Amino acid sequence: MTTIHQVAKQAGVSVATVSRVLNGQNSVTAKTRIKVEDAIKKLNYEPSLLGRNLRNSESRLLLVLIPNISNPFYSEIINGIENTAIELGYNILLCETDTNAERENIYFDLVRKKMADGIISMDPAVNTDSLIRLAENHAIIQCSEYAVDSGIPYVTIDNAQAAYRAVKHLIKIGHQRIALINSDKKFLYARQRQLGYQKALEENDMGLEDSLIVHTKGLDFSYGQQAMKKILMQKERPTAIFAVSDLLAIGALKEIHNQGLRVPEDIAIIGFDKIAFSNMTHPTLTTISQPMYEMGKAAADMLVKKIQGEEVESLILEHELVIRESTLG
Amino acid sequence: MTTIHQVAKQAGVSVATVSRVLNGQNSVTAKTRIKVEDAIKKLNYEPSLLGRNLRNSESRLLLVLIPNISNPFYSEIINGIENTAIELGYNILLCETDTNAERENIYFDLVRKKMADGIISMDPAVNTDSLIRLAENHAIIQCSEYAVDSGIPYVTIDNAQAAYRAVKHLIKIGHQRIALINSDKKFLYARQRQLGYQKALEENDMGLEDSLIVHTKGLDFSYGQQAMKKILMQKERPTAIFAVSDLLAIGALKEIHNQGLRVPEDIAIIGFDKIAFSNMTHPTLTTISQPMYEMGKAAADMLVKKIQGEEVESLILEHELVIRESTLG
DNA sequence: CACAGATTTGTAATCCATTACATAACTAGA
DNA sequence: TCTAGTTATGTAATGGATTACAAATCTGTG
């Protein structure tokens, strides 16, 4: 491997001068600069980031933790993160945790051991204790999901309010029995969205029925399908479904079709996230849209600020109800 | 930050001894080992990978290049890569290139500059020249898509054969006019699958019709939908569609429904990849299944071998035709 | 031409961990 | 008890780049 020393020798200057050329410092004569650049080209030299980073004690690498890349919800957020990070001189690397504490710890270690400068966590199943401990000495930002009172800055939307609006919409178009397909209550967003659901029902004097609330063990289509099956086994079936994610909603839709029922005529559905698929289903899915790109952008901005020692404030962004065919009156 | 020196001082030993304890070497007395471990705990010491990696000139990081995380095709492959890599003592980091040469170059640079030990490229739009040049001095493996005659090892399936089988299946159940929704011909897999399509038609004395072959500019649903629209505008419409990816097939399905036609009664469809969503559509999608997990596993194995200086051979794995509702006779 | 002041270049310390080699401590056998 | 042979520990060089500070070169003015 070529080192800065060999370049210096080849160019007949000192390593300091080579370093100056590399870092674009102006205190180098045009003549010397050219000598150095020639040497670099001739030797095909690539400065080792390991050396540089060790000296500067930074890596300019940001980690983005996601539970699972196959959940399209993250896609647009990551876009926002990436564009912003690159603009600020950082690279991002995606880390799939598979909701596995061990794997998560591997990535935490990368930060502890200086191979990365900070983390944007989007994993709702993250081990909060580890995260909080890590945040004591390292730059961490939470995006979408967050640990309450952790002191770790986050970017998110008002989940309760969004769910409230979704259910309100169902009520407005005449539904009186509305089921909730929720994910595991251990997730903050799940609890918040359930609160919104309950608030909407209560405000309209519709009683809560335990049998209309199903919790799933996962987020795949298949869990939505199972949940729907369970709901349809009841004698008095609901006329509308609010699912806390589009994936679950799409699974539910599948099951409704399987049983020969029609959407929205027999049962209306609302999802959450506005993933690309949600516009490909038949009928297209009414859903809640989060400002994903903006969220990513904000998270990246905040993380870099944090790395550079600034204080940052948490952010709650606006959402939107996107009405499509699955809730047409 | 705590360094190995401070630990050594705290424990009353030399840095060499601390390093030995860290690396689990046996030439350390139990007594000293305990002293050192206590010091490490007390000071909350985390060895810097930057220092270690500089010395060892390795990073034990593997990069996985994908064009877009929102394409679920990659999900299971990555799983295979990740599990294998971890077993072999490496971590993987995902890099989304967005089919953007500049962004791709950022990740190539990470390898050139020693921040990563190797790359598994799954981007069909990768700049082949850059990749070949990079492979001269660095460990690279191609997965799924590959550059012919590049000399860079790859793992893939026989795309032409797979496409041939898919179309053969359509012919067998009685179809005589079969359209092809293909992606851009610049992709190797697109050309190979088209060859398979043509071979099946020719073998059955069915003429090729240019108007039945549509090339898309992208891989999203929407492109499949557009392509289908174009196909359905013709006077004599086909009775079956072979799409080179499930995403395109699902877009096509959507358009067929939009126009009030039924699948498979009016038009049959076959996709490619067996992504999770292909089983959620209505009707479920006949498709080609690639051994994704195996592909990932093999790619990771090969990459680590390559990093360790071994020679590796390219691999062609088996595929499978999965017959579902969209082609029920 | 000499000299102060500005500009360019070089020397060597530094970042942190690993490891070859040297040295110290210990063991066992005579 | 002494010595040869092990085993444990320490010293210092090493990896590659950056940078404070020192030294050298240049500029312009009296």
B chain contacts of residue A79, beta-carbon cutoff 8 Å = 98
Q: What residues in B contact A78, CB-CB < 8 Å?
A: 69, 96
| One domain for residues A151 and A43 | no
Contact B2, B45 (CB under 8 A): yes
> How far is Cα A162 from Cα A97, in angstroms, rounded to an integer?
27
Domain tally, chain B: 3
Q: Which amino acid is at B8?
A: A
Check: CB of residue A296 under 8 Å from CB of residue A315. no
pLDDT of residue A71: 81
> A4 CA to C3 C1', in Å?
37
List pLDDT tens digits, range A60-108: 999 999 988 878 889 889 999 999 999 999 999 999 998 889 999 999 9
A146 & A38 share domain: no
A182 shares a domain with A105: no
Specify the amino acid at residue B291.
Answer: P
User: Which of chain B's residues have a Cβ under 8 Å away from the Cβ of A221?
Assistant: 276-277, 279-280
A51 touches strand D (CB under 7 A): yes
Taking CB atoms and an 8 Å limit, are A282 and B112 in contact across chains? no
Cβ of A49 and B110 within 8 Å? yes
Q: How far is the CA of B88 from the C1' of C23 (A)?
A: 37
- For B250, nearest residue in chain A (alpha carbons): A280
The answer as to whether B9 is a domain residue is yes
Distance (Å) from the alpha carbon of B8 to chain A's nearest alpha carbon: 18
Average pLDDT value over all residues in chain B: 95
Q: How confident is the model at residue A132, as a pLDDT?
A: 95
B172 and B283 share a domain? Answer: yes
Residue A106: list chain B partners with CB under 8 A.
86, 91
Is residue A303 domain-shared with residue A282, that is, in the same domain? no
E-strand stretches of B13-117: 61-66, 91-96
**Residue lying closest to nucleotide C10, CA to C1':** A14
Candidates B22, B44, B49, B325: best to mutate against A (most CBs of A within 10 A) is B49
Do the domain assignments include residue A68? Answer: yes
Q: Per the CB < 8 Å rule, is B47 touching A280?
A: no
In a domain, A301, yes or no: yes
The reply to whether A285 and A296 lie within a common domain is: no
Say which DSSP state A213 is in: E
Q: Does B220 lie in the same domain as B253?
A: yes
Cβ pair A287, A324 in contact under 8 A: yes
- Cα within 13 Å of Cα(A62), Cβ side: 33
Q: For chains A and B, what is the number of CB pairs under 8 angstroms?
A: 122
The answer to whether the CB atoms of A50 and B47 lie below 8 A apart is no
* Whole-number Å distance between alpha carbons of B120 and B140: 6
Spacing of A32 CA from D26 C1' in Å:
15
Rounded CA-CA distance B324/B269 in Å is 10
What does the pLDDT look like over B74-104, one tens digit per residue?
A: 988 999 999 999 999 999 999 999 889 999 9
Is B115 in contact with A61 (Cβ distance < 8 A)? yes
Q: Which residues of B270-296 are buried (b: 16+ CB within 10 A; e: fewer)?
A: bbbbbbebbbbbbbbbbbbbbbbbbbb
CB–CB contact B280 A221 (8 Å): yes
Tell me what pLDDT residue A159 has: 97
Question: Would the pLDDT of B277 be above 90?
Answer: no
Does one domain contain both A17 and A85?
no
In a domain, residue A53? The reply is no
Which pLDDT belongs to residue B231? Answer: 96
Residues A81 and A94 in one domain: yes
Q: Say whether A115 and B59 touch across the interface (CB within 8 A).
A: yes
Tell me whether residue B52 is in a domain: no
Average pLDDT per run of 10 along chain A, which is 329 residues long? 94 95 91 95 96 95 92 89 95 92 94 97 92 95 92 97 98 96 95 97 93 94 95 94 96 95 96 91 95 96 96 96 94
Residue A169's pLDDT is what? 98
Distance, CA of A25 to C1' of C3, in Å: 29
User: B131: distance to nearest CA of chain A, Å?
Assistant: 16
Task: Report the gap between the CA of A94 and the closest CA in chain B (Å).
Answer: 5
Q: Is residue A146 part of a domain?
A: yes
Looking up tokens 């952008």 gives A297
Regarding whether B272 and B305 lie in a shared domain, the answer is no
Question: Please, which pLDDT band fits residue B276 given cuts at 50, 70 and 90?
Answer: confident
Q: What is the model's pLDDT at position B69?
A: 85
Do residue A280 and residue B254 have CB atoms under 8 angstroms apart?
yes
User: Do B63 and B26 fall within a single domain?
Assistant: no
User: Could you say which DSSP state residue A26 is in?
Assistant: S
* A82 and A168 both lie in a single domain: no
C-beta separation of A12 from A34 below 8 A: no
**B270: distance to nearest CA of chain A, Å?**
17
Q: Give the structural domain span for B61.
A: 57-157+292-317
| Interatomic separation, CA of residue A229 and C1' of nucleotide C10, rounded (Å) | 78
Asked whether residue A242 is assigned to any structural domain, the reply reads yes
pLDDT mean over B117-129:
94
Instruction: Determine the average pLDDT of the residues in B214-231.
Output: 95
Question: CB–CB of A6/A42 below 8 Å?
Answer: no
Q: Å between B18 CA and D1 C1'?
A: 36
Could you tell me which of B115, B123, B67, B56 has the C-alpha nearest to residue B91?
A: B115
Q: Which residues of A touch B1 (CB under 8 A)?
A: 57
Within-domain flag for B249: yes
User: What CATH number corresponds to the domain at position A73?
Assistant: 3.40.50.2300
Provide the CATH number for the domain around residue A12: 1.10.260.40
Residue A181 bridge partners (DSSP): A214, A243
